[in-house]
Chain A
Amino acid sequence: MSHVLATYNIKGGVGKTSAAVNLATLAAHGGAHTLLWDLDPQGASTFLFRVKPKIKGGGAKLVRGKTDADGQIKGTDTEGLDLLPADFSYRHMDLALDGAKTNRLNRVIKPLDEYEYVFLDCPPSISLVSENVFEAADALIVPIIPATLSSRTLEQLHEVLSGGPKVLGFFSMADRRKKLHRQIMDELAGEHDVLKTIIPASADVERMGSERAALVDFAPRSRAALAYADLWSEIRARLTS
């Protein structure tokens, strides 16, 4: 059985894709056979891996079992890391999932047990897709920008989830120089179970778009890359505890 890890937040632009791409790359570097499924119709992860955002027959056929997921998987530049690409049709994924008696995402993921880790890079919002994800995932990896509004995410998530996956929140795009950031991080860490590692706001992370590669690959000694490495060991420890 694979460990299924979903990077998720109701809001967009919080560092979800960056977390998914870097953590999945680190997992593969560690020798684990790893898959990243880019569920976001915008296809940011797919773009970073230089893969064409195309699923034969679109997302609906994939989740209905008409297209074999196995045949759609692409190898990446990193050995041991494969990608199930995004497709623009994923924006209608809710329709494909509606009315299904079983968890259709789960049905796609389950047979892919050759992978030790399956990362799901999820689109923002709460929808049928995210509900399917909550059920399929062993853990939700939730990036939180230390600003009042986005910090509500954790509360909302706990309202939606009863039982289900572990919720592993971490601070993303954080700036220790900003008083507000420090204040919110201290408060939230007191109220909620938040991971210790903080991913700093950094121009290096933004460079991923132009380099089209994982930060841990093109700037492995940068502060943010080292923070991702710490985050990955912390997550692994939490998965086994």
Chain B
Amino acid sequence: MTVVTHVLPEGADLAAARASLGEHLSLRAGRATSSITTFYDTFDGRLHAAGVTLHHAGGKLVLTAREDGAELAAAESTAAKRLFDRDLPDALRERLAPEIEMRALLPVARLRVQTLPVAVLNEDAKTVARLTLAASTTGAHGRVTASAVRGYERELDRVVAVLADTLALPEATVPLVDEAIVAAGGDPAGTSAKLNLALNPEDPANVAAATVFTRLVEVIRENVPGTFEDVDSEFLHDFRVAVRRTRSLQRQFKNIYPSERLEHFRTEFKRLQAETGDLRDMDVYLLDFDDLQASLPEKMRADLEPLRGVIETRRARALTSTRRALRAKRTTEALADWEQFVTSRRPADRTVKDLASHRITRVYRKMVKEGSAIDDDSPAEALHDLRKVGKELRYLLEFFASLYPPEVIKPFVKTLKGLQDQLGRFQDREVQANALRELAPALKDAPHTVMAMGVLVERFMQEEIAARAEFADRFEAFASKAQRDIVKEHFG
């Protein structure tokens, strides 16, 4: 159905808007309602990115298209403080689960909105188009949304002509909620953990590195409150990725910093990584739990349930120690000192492009060398080590992507990612198998659970073997002559 939304003049209330429309159209107004509307999105604005808006009003959750305000789905629900995919009514879960994944939907704005439905009538006093007038008390401009009535689509053109031409109301480019979020000092697109850096190749290496490090500290800080309040598992994940990226660049660029001072900060970031590791492990087990359970033969599925309890208990303990680490003065001071340290360096002689190219070449060559030495008899550690080096390379390419042509970086990252995913599958299976072995003693009184875990361990080991078999092909593409030439040409 065709829907068009225009913006009401500044300060126009419903009565004024209705009166000015009534001068040009034959109208019948319905009953005005006033409701508190709560808008939802994930912390990183996934609904915004998907082009939809979710709000709660009048006991219902309603999903609309950002572009024209058309309703896509609606269902009764309470206005919860946090909604995971599993909390959503069926009609909404279907559409939203693939977008939000493990993230929680959180209230991003609350508005008191007054709404007046108005029918546009023809000479028989029959409804031929519908208008919804909406005004909020929070400073955002009101909206008038016109929608077609089936079989009378042409009437909508007449209505739109009145809105756009006669009354000169501009078409709404953003939904009401965006204005409200901006008015409250937020960003409707959410808080991204992406780097999105634009570096200048001629900048001194430590000046450019400071830009990267500062952005990473920002991501770390932005994700602390959500981790602390245990909102969803992605806060800790993004926190840890930013810590890991920081540590990676500390290693890669260590030569431009005084080694003793750098060592202190490297220890601090290592500590942050270690103190949050258990919680992340437990999060991963819980995120995977339903899928693992579903993969078991049907009559064993219920047997696995006690394991969930064990993981949840451990997770609660891990959350406590993570909170302690985040709250610690030592942590906040380390972050502040680190920021101060990286931004107050005297400009280095070497340009960032020079140093980044050098590091990318070195790490790539190291990978080619290590990978070439791997054969069917190599121990699993050799593959794990290769994956670690791959991660260093991946981060370098991400930090310094803006220094190189996208047509070089993109395919490079893609080949690397293909290899890393395969190595990751290999390692994940081993880690999962080990984790289950490690958890088994806690379930010594639940033999059926341990048996079900055994079935999973068996499968992980088989998948590990299968993943390893793929290694040679993936590595060949990554270490090909063509790829080596590209590295030599653009990074050498």
Contacts and interface: CB of A to CB of B under 8 A. Distances in A.
B177 interface: no
A73 interface: yes
Nearest to A70: B150
A65 interface: no
A76 B151 CA distance: 10
B152 A77 contact: no
A74 B151 contact: yes
A50 B124 CA distance: 6
A79 B126 contact: no
Contacts of A75: 127, 149-152
A82 B127 CA distance: 12
Contact of A74 (B119, B125, B130, B150): B150
A76 B127 CA distance: 7
Given A50-B124, A50-B126, A77 B151 contact: no
How big is the A interface, by class? 10 to 19
A170 interface: no
A73 B151 contact: yes
Contacts of A79: 130
A212 B126 CA distance: 9
Nearest to A74: B151
B150 A77 contact: no
Contact of B126 (A49, A72, A73, A82): A49
Contacts of A50: 124-126
A212 B152 CA distance: 19
A194 interface: no
B126 A51 contact: yes
Interface in B379-402: none
A3 B127 CA distance: 26
Nearest to B148: A75
Contact of B150 (A49, A82, A212): A82
Nearest to B124: A50
A51 B124 CA distance: 9
Interface in B116-171: 119, 124-127, 130, 149-152
Interface in A61-83: 72-77, 79, 82
A212 B124 CA distance: 10
A179 B301 CA distance: 67
B150 A73 contact: yes
Q: Is the interface of B mostly helix, strand, loop or mixed?
A: loop
Interface in B434-466: none
B317 to A, nearest CB: 47
A43 to B, nearest CB: 14
A166 to B, nearest CB: 28
Contacts of A74: 149-152
Nearest to B1: A75
Contacts of A72: 151
B312 to A, nearest CB: 38
Contacts of A49: 126
Contacts of B130: 79
**Central interface residue in A51, A74, A75, A76, by most chain B CB within 10 Å:** A75
Contacts of B149: 74-75
A49 B119 CA distance: 14
Contacts of B151: 51, 72-75, 82
Contacts of B125: 50, 212
Nearest to A51: B126
B124 A77 contact: no
Nearest to B128: A75
A116 to B, nearest CB: 13
Interface string A78-113: 010010000000000000000000000000000000
A72 B151 CA distance: 7
A82 B152 CA distance: 12
Contacts of A77: 119, 126-127
Interface string B44-78: 00000000000000000000000000000000000
Interface string A139-180: 000000000000000000000000000000000000000000
A75 B119 CA distance: 12
Nearest to A52: B124
A16 B124 CA distance: 24
B309 to A, nearest CB: 39
Contacts of B152: 74-75
**Central interface residue in A73, A79, A82, by most chain B CB within 10 Å:** A79
A79 B149 CA distance: 9
A74 B126 CA distance: 11
Contacts of B124: 50
13 contacts: A49-B126, A50-B124, A50-B125, A50-B126, A51-B126, A73-B151, A74-B150, A75-B149, A75-B152, A77-B119, A77-B126, A79-B130, A82-B150
3 closest A-B pairs by beta carbon, nearest first, are: A74-B151, A75-B149, A50-B126
Given A73-B150, A75-B151, 11 more contacts: A49-B126, A50-B126, A72-B151, A73-B151, A75-B149, A75-B150, A75-B152, A76-B127, A77-B126, A82-B150, A212-B125
Interface of A: 49-51, 72-77, 79, 82, 212
